[in-house]
Structures are given as C-alpha cells and as structure tokens.
Amino acid sequence: MKPAPFEYVRIDHPDELSALLTEHGPEAAVLAGGQSLMPILNLRLRRPRVLLDLSRCRALHDLTPTSGGLQIGAAVTQATVLSWPRLAHQVPLLALALPHVGNPQIRSRGTLCGSLAHAHPQAELPLCLAALDGEIVLRSQRGERRIAAADFFIAAQKTACRPDEYIAQAHIPCQSIDEGSAFLEVAVRVTGQAQVACAAIAGPHRLRLAVLAGQATPQVHDYPLLPEADLRDQLDIIARSLALSCASADDDAYRRQLVVSLGLNALKQAQRARDRRAAVDAQIMEHRR
C-alpha cells in the first residue's frame, strides 16, 4: 500500500500555510500527526496533489492557559495535552477522556486539532469539545473565524472548515471548581474504536451528558438534577431515538442498552466527583478559618 505521488511542503510559518491553502484549495491536504491521514493516503482514498506538513511549525505548538480556558495550537499532540500538569484540575473531562484515544504511540504523534479536523464519529475528542462548549479558530488568508463546537461538526468526517482554511487553535473552557466529570467508554477490543462513549459533567444545578454511539456528530443533552429513575427514562429516550446501522438486531439492542447503562453510570460518577470536590473545598475552608 503506497500513496499516490504528492508534493510535500514543510510549513515553517502559519502565513505560508494560509497562502498554500489559498493557492491549492481542495487539491491540498494538511498533515498534522498523520495518524488518520497516512492510512487514508496509503489506501488511496484521497489523492491530494500537495501535502502541507504543519507538525514542525513552531508558532502552532502553543499550549497556553488563558483567562477562561486552554488554547491548544494545531501542532500540539494529544500526549502533550495529557501531560500538561494542570489538566486534571482545569479540564478534568479531557484528562479522563484522552487516555481512551488510541494508545501512547498514537497520542505521541496525533494532534488534538487533527482529531477535531478528522471528525470521526467514533472519536473521543470531538465529543469532549462538544460537551465542554469548546471553540475552534479557523484561519485563512481571508482572516480568522471562531466557531462553536456545536456548529463545527456537520456530519461524519464533515466539518465547517473550508478548503482554504485550517484549524489554527482549539479553545477549551476551564471547568468550574464546583463541577464533577466522568468519561466512560466501551470499545471494540481489536480496533479500540468506541462503540459507545459517554462524557458527563455534573454541576450544582445541572447535568450534562454527551453521547457517542454511532451517530454522525456528538450529541449533547442537558438536564436539571433529576432522581435516578427519571434520568434512566431520559436515557431510554436517547437510546430509542438513535439512528443506528448495526450488523444485527442484537448488536443494535446491545448498543442502545450500553447508552442507558454507561450514560447513567457516567452521570452518577460525575455527581460523586462533584460532591468529593465540594467536600475537599469545605475542608480547606474549615482549615483556613
């Protein structure tokens, strides 16, 4: 398996990337970590004329805490994000989800922005971006536009990124100190691909559940604080409404059942995490008095 011939350009400056994307449009492909693109090229499912490799562009390697969140440049690998020392404190959901992405070798090359650009329906990072109300900065020679996760993912492997644009950064808001998070996934053993994944965030007055279960784009559901039986009813509604294309009726029923049990467990875990955080906070306040 070899890719069709292409011209390779190593990008050293973001302006160069914008200029070449304007020049070549859909004939060009951005190469980040290559973990999804290279297999696609090797299978000749895509035949770009020019490959624009941004992985060594220093200006795109920034991982910067901002006042409200975390700014992650296009060339920042998933491993770098996971090893950021304040991740578990500032964005606990991402810290819980990232270990589910592939394996350490994949994460050491694969970028967070590359996974968002690829928008695979079984990928964990688009699900997290949607759950966290993250945003994406798209850059081209026409300028920059900032787009919410809810508007970015259009269909399976289809995003709002235009042919002359690239993802320059992802913005992940910091989670509030009074929130708890949980991430649960059941994956196919051989491929590691998620069958169902649930990202849950529990705040003092609301619950959020983002579900990945074979649908084209991440689905986010918000609830008030409900008793367990009512939450189960809500999850039954989600499970029944999924448009699945499983190989058999048994697979289909199994996946719907997974949505209910993983979703409920994730919401319960997130609420326990929230309560633990609140208890620790109360102890610290008591200690300070």
Ligand X SMILES: Cc1cc2nc3c(=O)[nH]c(=O)nc-3n(C[C@H](O)[C@H](O)[C@H](O)COP(=O)(O)OP(=O)(O)OC[C@H]3O[C@@H](n4cnc5c(N)ncnc54)[C@H](O)[C@@H]3O)c2cc1C
User: Residue numbers of the site for ligand X (CB under 6 A)?
Assistant: 29-37, 74, 101-102, 106, 110-111, 113-115, 117-118, 123-125, 161, 166-167, 192
3-state secondary structure 58-83: HHHCCEEECCCEEEEECCCEHHHHHC
Burial of 72 (0-12, 13-18, 19+ CB in 10 A): buried
Which of 116, 139, 124, 141 is CA-nearest to residue 266?
A: 124
| Minimal distance, residue 149 CB to ligand X, in Å | 15
- Give the residue with the Cβ less far from ligand X, 102 or 214: 102
- Give the residue with the Cβ less far from ligand X, 83 or 283: 83
- Give the residue with the Cβ less far from ligand X, 34 or 203: 34
| Minimal distance, residue 287 CB to ligand X, in Å | 41
- Give the residue with the Cβ less far from ligand X, 141 or 236: 141
- Give the residue with the Cβ less far from ligand X, 106 or 160: 106
| Minimal distance, residue 90 CB to ligand X, in Å | 21
- Give the residue with the Cβ less far from ligand X, 69 or 73: 73
Distance CA 64, CA 58 (A): 14
| Minimal distance, residue 36 CB to ligand X, in Å | 4
| Minimal distance, residue 54 CB to ligand X, in Å | 6
**For 246, left (φ over 0), alpha (ψ -120 to 50), or beta?**
beta
| Minimal distance, residue 170 CB to ligand X, in Å | 9
Residue closest to ligand X, measured at CB:
110
Distance CA 75, CA 112 (A): 8
Which of 133, 249, 260 is CA-nearest to residue 184?
A: 260
- Give the residue with the Cβ less far from ligand X, 30 or 211: 30
Distance CA 228, CA 52 (A): 50
| Minimal distance, residue 117 CB to ligand X, in Å | 3
- Give the residue with the Cβ less far from ligand X, 54 or 87: 54
| Minimal distance, residue 26 CB to ligand X, in Å | 11
